[in-house]
Amino acid sequence: MEARFSLTFQYQVLFTNSVFDPQNPLLVRTLAQKEPSRQHCLTIFVDDGVMGTWPHLEEDIEEYIDVHKKHLRLSTGLIKVSGGEECKNDPDILHMVYRQLLELEVDRHSFVLAIGGGAVLDTIGYGAATTHRGVHLVRLPTTVLAQNDAGIGVKTGMNFFDSKNFIGAFAPPFAVINDLRFLKTLSCRDRRAGIAEAVKVALINDRNFFEWLESQVQALNAFDFNAISHMIHHCAELHLNHIACSGDPFEIGNARPLDYGHWSAHKLESLTKHELRHGEAVAIGIAIDSRYASQIGLLPKGTEVRICQLLEKVGFRLWHPVMRDTDSKGKLRLIEGIREFRKHLGGDLSITLLTDIGERVEIHDIDLREIETTIHWLEDRERGS
Ligand SMILES: NC(=O)c1ccc[n+]([C@@H]2O[C@H](COP(=O)([O-])OP(=O)(O)OC[C@H]3O[C@@H](n4cnc5c(N)ncnc54)[C@H](O)[C@@H]3O)[C@@H](O)[C@H]2O)c1
Ligand SMILES: [Zn+2]
């Protein structure tokens, strides 16, 4: 016997400003598109970092729903979720999500709306994906990183037993709405963090985009609206294109180009107990993997310096003291990230490296001594020698 079937997934990533302005039809149109004659029930979870900086959000949403009550209704008021990595670390938050969805009788016709950074979207996304084996999720990413990367793909995840994204599910959203206005209240750190993912996707896919990022550093650092908006738009496009066209959206094979620089980034996040933001760790991960590629003769010499310079000009520090930490055998603890990545892949290592800007290759072996040299190189660079 054999069962063979395939499913087609389709969702839109939409861009707007002021999504809850009653005159803006995007949200109601998106939710009502499949069943226009129905009144759709919405349960909304909001990152507390957003709640804190947008004090009128609840009123605005209620007014929006009221104006569009023919199509929309709220199951309850906004449900606040702790923002940042702590929500991915905390099983009690997942329980709270399940309890709310149970008590509010959210069913497979209702919508869950998640508003927040990548961490909140990952948590609510996992909760929604595993309730009734999947309820409709609309994501409203509110950080640069969530709008250009974390919030637009098909993955959800939470950290368990100190292991990053140990539990999770592939669960395409119903839709994603990027409202650039939310970015206004972001801290400088979180404005910057998302730029690392843009550098990543440019490096693995698009030399012109990398050169554009180099030419726009000042505008990006000043958070110039046009530059940020173009960066998010193009990065999201490349990211989505990879998901839709790579032939492996649910990562059944081992190649993970979108995880470029991430084996060390995830380890750095855990080693620093999430003191480093995901984007900050990714910037270091990109520096490590580009220097390593140059050391082993894969990437033309000097290209890694150009990449590091772009990251530094954006304001990333390409070093963290934890990179010096060693285990009882004197080995750098960061390097353990390779073993963990291999384990996550199921035993066969596959790491994306660059052969040039915009060109990549998958490699299956890593020379650990060379990686140590790479890390020392970054330390020397930090010291200015
Ligand atoms: N699922 C995926 O495919 C995927 C991809 C990349 C990253 N991620 C995950 O995304 C997470 C990182 O996401 P992030 O960079 O968005 O950071 P984050 O979610 O940790 O948020 C950072 C901080 O910004 C606050 N915040 C969010 N929006 C705000 C706003 N508009 N104004 C003011 N404050 C706001 C949050 O409360 C939090 O304190 C990591 O857990 C990472 O693993 C997931
Ligand atoms: Zn990432």
- For each successive 10 residues of the chain (385 residues), what is the average pLDDT? 95 98 98 92 98 97 98 98 96 98 94 98 98 97 97 96 92 98 96 97 97 98 96 96 91 87 94 95 98 98 98 97 93 90 82 97 93 96 86
* Residues in the ligand 1 pocket, defined by CB under 6 Å: 47-50, 53, 83-85, 88, 116-120, 122, 142-143, 145-146, 149-150, 153, 155-157, 182, 185-186, 190, 193, 277-279
Ligand number, closest to the Cα atom of 145: 1
> What is the structure's pLDDT at 162?
84
Six-digit token string for 379: 């330390």
Six-digit token string for 228: 């940020």
Residue nearest atom 35 in ligand 1 by C-alpha distance: 49
Residue nearest atom 6 in ligand 1 by C-alpha distance: 150
Question: What is the 3-state composition of the chain as percent helix, strand, coil, each rounded to the nearest 5?
Answer: 50, 15, 35
The radius of gyration computed from the CA coordinates of the chain, to the nearest angstrom, equals 21
Query: 265 CB contacts (<8 Å, ≥6 apart)?
Result: 278, 281, 282, 284, 285
Atom of ligand 1 nearest to the CA of 197: 6
Atom of ligand 1 nearest to the CA of 119: 19
Return the residue matching tokens 């979720």. 81
Residue nearest atom 25 in ligand 1 by C-alpha distance: 49
Ligand 1 mutation pick, 163, 180, 223, 278, max ligand atoms within 8 A of CB: 278
Residue nearest atom 20 in ligand 1 by C-alpha distance: 84
**This prediction's pTM:** 0.95
Residue of 296, 302, 268, 295 whose CA lies nearest to 284: 268
Atom of ligand 1 nearest to the CA of 266: 43
- Cα(139)–Cα(155) distance, integer angstroms: 12
> What is the structure's pLDDT at 385?
65
Residue nearest atom 5 in ligand 1 by C-alpha distance: 150
- Cα(288)–Cα(67) distance, integer angstroms: 52
- Cα(348)–Cα(255) distance, integer angstroms: 10
> What is the structure's pLDDT at 251?
85
Residue nearest atom 10 in ligand 1 by C-alpha distance: 118
Six-digit token string for 119: 């961490």
Ligand number, closest to the Cα atom of 185: 1
User: Which residue type does 329 have?
Assistant: K
Ligand number, closest to the Cα atom of 156: 1
Query: 64 CB contacts (<8 Å, ≥6 apart)?
Result: 20, 21, 22, 27, 72
